Amino acid sequence: MPHELERFWHRLSVQARDCPHEVAVQGADERVTWAQLRDEVERRAGELERQAPAALILALDNGPQALLWDLAALFAGCPCVVIPTFFSPQQFAHCVQQSGATLALVDEVWTAQLLSAGFSRTAAFWHRSAPRPVTLPEGTAKITYTSGSTGQPKGVCLSAEAMLCVARTLEEASRNASAQRYLAVLPLGVLLENLGVYAALMAGACVQLYPQAQLGISGATQVDFERLLGAIALSGAHSVILVPQLLLGLVTAIERGLMPVGALRFVAVGGARVSQALLERAEAIGLPVYEGYGLSECASVVALNRPGAHRLGSVGKPLPHVQVRIAEDGEVLVAGSTLLGYLGEPPLHASWWATGDLGYLDAQGYLYLNGRKKHQFITSFGRNVSPEWVEAELTQCGALAQVFVHGEGLPHNVALLWPRDPASSDADIEQAVRQGNARLPDYARVHHWRRLPEPLDSHLHTLTANGRPRREAILARYHRLLSDIAL
């Protein structure tokens, strides 16, 4: 058994021995004690070991069963393809076909896709004969799919050693917060949440895993904030992981007196650029927010602010398991806990991973990001602008749900906007744009804008499955509208 895997099992076993009747995992209508967790993972790992040696598709909504099977696959050495609940049927089919999986545990919503892929239901699993041999990089424990800015999502093959090393350093980084109740807000199919749960178990915390609908979350971008904020408050959670849009909702609710900071001690935020103004608002209300940075190809988290090492505007210092350096062109390079390779492509052996992100390290070792290398545009005045930076500033006011900024070769930046309330007047939108512009230098400001005719959406191929803009697709679809603005 690899060292990090053995270390994790030892930690779970110690919890089962010392706190056998305490709750390790709390679900909507099911709870699992530490003793039950150890025994169930061991039993299910044995079941997986008796199956054919191929990948397992795991597409279950958040809950104790999803976690137990995920852990069982990890300890059985069974490559696990964890598919986010917000993937489209086409993306699901792509993952099943590309992985060559012969076993599946899924929610009923995916039944038609499995039947069309040749699966049949058995007592414990969905099962099919191997359609074709698929060679995975040696040591693959999990295949996590990136959302993909274009085309189909890519399967990132990761080892147990890499993932658990990241989870362990996350637990160490957040240990001073003494978080003993962890609420999983994001789907387990999102690697960041998956490893956040591992880190919570390593800390001996109770993991609260509720279905996404119970938290008010639907798909990748639809959120019932009243339900979500109520769930956070009722859970008594000490720690959560949020994406920027969810953090915005939480901060706004606390500012308006709709809920207190409560028991929260460690709120990690990542997945996209966070406006510094939003972080300042969180700090002003006493919400303990710690911004981090990572990517699937580096087994998720690379850098993280944490208690005692926190610098607003940075994504924190690199965690101990990685090295970070900056290339001559400003690209962030990472070594340590990198992927074994992409599914369907030759294994990777390079020591350093080029992240595609631009950034710099300050004198104290804090990492700052300047946006995506391939998204950066240059205005006709020769100014380099990262659109993510501008978009983050405009959306943080709360009035704008979606912002797409463009300025390549233009004297002034332009934007396509979709308001949070479709009934918002042009004056309301203009005020939101002015508020965002006030926090930006002149060359980065949006000078002209238009409403989008419809919201950006993954079904229109203008968003990735997890809600990030597909920039080339947006430029192609709204080329005429952008041209009219730029005139």
CATH number of 1-373: 3.40.50.12780
Please tell me the least confidently modeled range out of 253-262, 302-311, 394-403: 394-403
The model's pLDDT over 278-287, given as tens digits with 9 standing for 90+, comes to 999 999 999 9
> Is the pLDDT reported for residue 151 higher than 60?
no
Q: What is the pTM of this model?
A: 0.84
- CATH architecture entry for 377-486: 2-Layer Sandwich (3.30)
pLDDT band, residue 123 (cuts 50/70/90): confident
> Is the pLDDT reported for residue 329 higher than 90?
yes
Amino acid (one-letter) located at 411:
P
- Work out the average pLDDT over 260-266: 96
The pLDDT of residue 149 is 44
Contact 353, 381 (CB under 8 A): no
- Three-state SS string over the chain comes to CCHHHHHHHHHHHHHHHHCCCCEEEECCCCEEEHHHHHHHHHHHHHHHHCCCCCCEEEECCCCHHHHHHHHHHHHHCCCEEECCCCCCHHHHHHHHHHHCCCEEEECHHHHHHHHHCCCEECCCCEECCCCCCCCCCCCEEEEEECCCCCCCCCEEEEEHHHHHHHHHHHHHHCHHHCCCEEEECCCCCCHHHHHHHHHHHHCCCEEEECCHHHHCEECCCEECHHHHHHHHHHHCCCEEEECHHHHHHHHHHHHCCCCCCCCCCEEEECCCCCCHHHHHHHHHCCCCEEEEEEEHHHCEEEEECECCECCCCCCCEECCCCEEEECCCCEEEEECCCCCEECCCCCCCCCEEEEEEEEEECCCCCEEEEEECCCCEECCCCCEECHHHHHHHHHCCCCEEEEEEECCCCCCEEEEEEECCCCCCHHHHHHHHHHHHCCCCHHHCEEEEEECCCCCCHHHCCECCCCCECHHHHHHHCHHHHHHHHC
Mean confidence (pLDDT) of the chain: 91
The pLDDT of residue 69 is 97
pLDDT > 70: what percent of the chain? Answer: 97
The pLDDT of residue 127 is 93
- Work out the average pLDDT over 428-440: 91
Question: Per-domain residue ranges for the chain?
Answer: 1-373, 377-486
| HSE-CB of 53 using CA atoms within 13 angstroms | 5
pLDDT > 90: what percent of the chain? Answer: 71
Higher pLDDT, 384 or 11: 11
pLDDT band, residue 176 (cuts 50/70/90): very high
pLDDT band, residue 487 (cuts 50/70/90): low
Task: Give me 487's structure tokens.
Answer: 């005139």
The model's pLDDT over 78-114, given as tens digits with 9 standing for 90+, comes to 999 998 887 778 778 889 999 999 999 999 999 999 9
Report the first-to-last Cα separation within the chain, whole angstroms: 63
Give the Cα separation of 416 and 485 in Å (integer): 9
The model's pLDDT over 219-259, given as tens digits with 9 standing for 90+, comes to 766 789 999 999 999 999 999 999 888 998 999 999 999 99
The pLDDT of residue 15 is 98
The model's pLDDT over 443-482, given as tens digits with 9 standing for 90+, comes to 889 999 999 999 998 888 898 876 788 888 999 999 889 8
> Is the pLDDT reported for residue 381 higher than 80?
no
Give the Cα separation of 265 and 20 in Å (integer): 26
The pLDDT of residue 344 is 86
The model's pLDDT over 52-80, given as tens digits with 9 standing for 90+, comes to 778 999 999 999 999 999 999 999 999 99
152: how many CB neighbours lie within 10 A of its CB? 15
pLDDT band, residue 150 (cuts 50/70/90): very low
